[in-house]
Structure 1
Amino acid sequence: MLVTVASLLAGCGGDDAGGDFVSFRFANSPTALSLVRIADELGYWKDAGVRPEYVGPATTVPATQLLDQGKVDIATGMQSDNITAYSKGVKGFTLIASSMLDLPEEPHMSYFTKAGSPINKNNWKAIEGGKIGVSGFNSCTDLVIKRLLKDNGVDLNKVEFVELKNELVAPALDKGEIDLGVFHPPLIGVLLSQKEKFTQIATSFDDWGELGGQAPFKASNIWLKKNPEAAREFVGIIAKTANWANEHPKESAEIAGKTTGYPVEQTTNWHYAPNALLDKESLQLWWDLVEEVGEVTPTWREVTIEQMATNAYNPYAKTADLLVSQTQNKTIIRDTQNTGILDSPLVQK
């Protein structure tokens, strides 16, 4: 994720009643789907001891770099970005909470063609000589479709990948400027509602299944060291919001539309990892995925997931250790499982 910082001031603030709280500068585009914004709509931040300060849309500065410099406090982004940052020595951030998974009915990404296109699950080769619109390179939008195409016999050298802003992919597809587009929620629902124009031919679930390619929440180590209890409360609210969204898919999709500016009757939401618990499997898959169809740095394999991710700040974790897999995390946990920050070498002291 790339962001611009609208404000570099953070720390403590006060509400109308004069109470103090810790703010966190959240790097997020106003049109991006986010559990932080959904929590806002649900009122979860209103009386909390930690509250968001939204600081800007996408631009040219990587969120990992801003976190490392302490210029933003919390962000989300694809795990490939995190590995790349660590491999380049940018290590001033820690992964503290999970994000989306992948379900057939609530996919991480969907792949659409123009209605009537010959490209489909049984004829992937028809994309050869054509163009695919993606919102970024070496990210989920191009890596997963590349592997899916490769596994189905497509020569990637015969496909042109075109980088476009998210909001420009659908118009380009409609005009015939590209032959296939890659989409995230909430836009998936918008395109599904226009069957006369677009056809969903596959989803990311067809490639990586339920693992879903996590875009975990990551926090600046500077902020974590200063505000450990606020970090724990933050993760707790993210977990509560994720669990609510999973239990209320229709309502959460409507909020997704409201917070991103798309028609609420059309939008879709993600399915989230219950309890915001981090696991190894859904994060580890990125090492192999990028090596297979993306670009890696020379020190890519020197980075391990244990260097950057912990459940130490999660009130629903029994230990700071990462789960082996999300298969261990199928049930919503109603009661907290610890009384404070858990012991971990990644806890900033």
Structure 2
Amino acid sequence: MITESFPIEIQKTPQSRIYELEEGLKKFGRIFSDHMFVADYKEGKWENAQIIPYGNFSLSPATSAIHYGQAIFEGLKAYKNRAGEVLVFRPFDNMKRMNKSAERMCMATIPEELFKQALFTLLKIDRDWVPQVEGSALYIRPFMFATDEYVGIKPSDNYKFSIIMSPVGAYYSEPVRVKIETFYSRSVEGGTGTAKAAGNYAASLYPAKLAQEKGYHQLVWTDAKEHKYIEESGTMNIMFVIDGVLVTPPLSDTILHGITRDSVLKLARHYGIPVEERKISVDEIIEAHNKGLLQDMFGTGTAATIAHVQLFNYNDKDYELPPVENREFSNRVKKHLDKIKTGEAEDIFNWTVNIDKM
């Protein structure tokens, strides 16, 4: 079977594993749908586009991504509406961001038509893997890595682009406890912090492990120069409501340009809520907390959507936040986003793509 617009060869699995879907909702990112998309970049062009049964890659020990870290990825989600149609949330924004990451990591970019055809064809084939349970979704992971069989420092000439999908439930089962980091840094000016590069996440694992050993779920990263200003939190952008104003750090080359972040800011402005994208010092957050003006603190990201912060720690002191049930804005925007994603609310910004109408 060959698709018409972009040639994708399709080989379907002889035996579906759809019975694993329910288990996938209990273990985030552990269970994968029946099929995956793969394509290769060779001699300056993309070729061998295929949808095949989910399985392992065969790689040379000299594969350059293993040695020099040219690897990027994205994360987005698909949902079902009441009619059983599959809706994808802001896929074209993920595509654009992936290509920006590719440019920063000196990798081949992915043609828009290839990304679209790969994603929508794969979703149509594995549509039964999109759960309809409240709070669940099909998590979609596009990724690309260098495949030169060469041990030497240079940009790869060859790449593999793939998409895998995983049925998921909630990323966090409870409000999170976070620790403000004052020593380690996630990114620096002029670095790769704005790219979804694999190495960025690898570098964060050790300091995050130290925080988890002390009972915290995640870190809040601060600027690398002074460790004075808030940047982002673990796998998420971070936001505060201070005396009725939604405040979040401005985008820069040290902060990931989050798609959920952008969605929350657009909805806040639509609600008429004051929004400030500016530098926020740790001292300002503590002062607002002590004065009773820190009304909300939460993370935003594809995996968690909205992750309420229960408390933050700074210099070995915990600061408790107001009860989650009393937080007006984050609860409102989370419910609104969930309804937009599942077709229950008007999509005023045209964010969702209905693959059954493509």
TM (norm. structure 1) is 0.26
Q: Say which structure, 1 or 2, has more relative contact order (CA 8 Å, 6+ apart).
A: 1
| Structure with the higher fraction of residues in strand conformation | 2
TM (norm. structure 2) is 0.25
